[in-house]
């Protein structure tokens, strides 16, 4: 199938997926649920049902984290398969974005929590010491990190540098990726500079920027990548709501 036809096929499906995102009304209903069971019941009757599949009232925060990461990786893989072959790896690499905080923690020498050992994408990197973790990287999907692991470069910047190396020689189709990459890096830098602060406003700003890029660069790889970024932000919000209820029970309205 010609590339133009594949991008047209992908664009139609991406637009349909974005149209199925939860709206403000659904988020308000979800936030009005006081406990995890009630939240999951509402989600099961909405467009979020696929993201909460496998979760139940007794799910722990670790169960929730792992389930959402697994669902996200599958979603990215599905979208990557819609695109022409030379762009598949570019899109697939976005599946690693949610892993960066955990990998940064491991690189900084943090003690390995039990939940990382349950995650097939992180388990191999979660050795007892830095040397073991560094050696293991070469045999994982995170092998690109071997160059940045011993240094001081923040992992989002290292991730972006490697992502750029995956791009085909197609200047007309990578201009949008340049803009999208800058937006992602600026967002991660802002989060790092203000750890522990409320990030709702920053997430909303990035979501708006990504939606603008999706519209401007339709029928290009940038649209697929912008879509994935938008979904990742929705999942951050969903994760916050679910984990809040798993940890604290009946909390009334979840944090934004």
The whole-angstrom separation of Cα 224 and Cα 176 is: 11
Q: What is the pLDDT of residues 4-41, one digit of tens each?
A: 999 999 999 999 999 999 999 999 999 999 899 999 99
**Helix, strand, coil shares of the chain as percentages rounded to 5?**
70, 0, 30
Q: How many CA atoms lie within 13 A of 138 on its CB side?
A: 4
- Whole domain around residue 19: which residue ranges? 3-247
Asked, for residue 59, whether it belongs to a domain, the answer is yes
Asked, for residue 83, whether it belongs to a domain, the answer is yes
* Range with the largest mean pLDDT of 1-10, 152-161, 197-206: 1-10
Average pLDDT over the chain reads 90
Asked, for residue 127, whether it belongs to a domain, the answer is yes
Is residue 254's pLDDT more than 50?
Answer: no
Q: Dihedral through CA 130, CA 133, CA 134, CA 137, nearest 10?
A: -160
Domains: count for the chain: 1
Could you give phi then psi for residue 150, rounded to 5 degrees?
Answer: -80, -10
Are the C-beta atoms of 233 and 214 separated by less than 8 Å?
A: no
pLDDT of 200 reads: 80
Asked, for residue 104, whether it belongs to a domain, the answer is yes
229: CB partners within 8 A, 6+ apart: 94, 180, 184, 206, 210
The whole-angstrom separation of Cα 245 and Cα 30 is: 11
Q: What is the pLDDT of residues 218-237, one digit of tens each?
A: 999 999 999 999 999 999 99
Q: Quick count: other Cβ atoms within 10 Å of Cβ 90?
A: 21
The whole-angstrom separation of Cα 117 and Cα 21 is: 31
Could you give phi then psi for residue 197, rounded to 5 degrees?
Answer: -95, 165
Nearest 5°: the CA angle 32, 55, 206 is: 60
Instruction: Give the pLDDT mean for 189-200.
Output: 71
Top pLDDT among 115 and 90 is at: 90
Asked, for residue 184, whether it belongs to a domain, the answer is yes
Is residue 178's pLDDT more than 50?
Answer: yes
Asked, for residue 233, whether it belongs to a domain, the answer is yes
Asked, for residue 253, whether it belongs to a domain, the answer is no
Query: Left, alpha or beta for 198 (phi > 0: left; psi -120 to 50: alpha)?
Result: beta
Asked, for residue 256, whether it belongs to a domain, the answer is no
Residue listed under structure tokens 């722990």: 60
- pTM to 2 decimal places: 0.91
């Amino acid at each position: 199938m010609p590339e133009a036809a594949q991008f047209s096929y992908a664009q139609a499906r991406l637009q349909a997926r974005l149209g199925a995102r939860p709206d403000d009304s659904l988020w308000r209903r979800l936030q009005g649920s006081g406990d995890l069971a009630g939240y999951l019941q509402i989600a099961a009757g909405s467009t979020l049902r696929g993201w909460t599949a496998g979760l139940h009232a007794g799910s722990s925060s670790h169960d929730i984290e792992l389930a959402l990461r697994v669902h996200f990786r599958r979603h990215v893989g599905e979208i990557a398969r819609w695109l022409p072959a030379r762009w598949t790896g570019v899109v697939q690499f976005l599946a690693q974005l949610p892993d960066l905080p955990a990998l940064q923690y491991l690189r900084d020498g943090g003690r390995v929590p039990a939940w990382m050992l349950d995650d097939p994408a992180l388990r191999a990197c979660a050795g007892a010491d830095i040397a073991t973790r560094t050696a293991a990287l070469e045999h994982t999907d995170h092998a690109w990190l071997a160059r940045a692991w011993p240094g001081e470069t923040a992992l989002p910047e290292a991730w972006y540098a490697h992502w750029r190396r995956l791009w085909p020689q197609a200047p007309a189709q990578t201009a949008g990726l340049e803009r999208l990459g800058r937006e992602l890096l600026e967002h991660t830098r802002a989060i790092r500079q203000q750890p522990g602060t409320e990030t709702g406003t920053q997430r909303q700003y990035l979501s708006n920027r990504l939606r603008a890029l999706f519209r401007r660069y339709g029928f290009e790889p940038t649209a697929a990548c912008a879509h994935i970024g938008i979904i990742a932000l929705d999942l951050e919000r969903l994760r916050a709501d679910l984990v809040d209820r798993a940890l604290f029970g009946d909390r009334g309205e979840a944090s934004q």
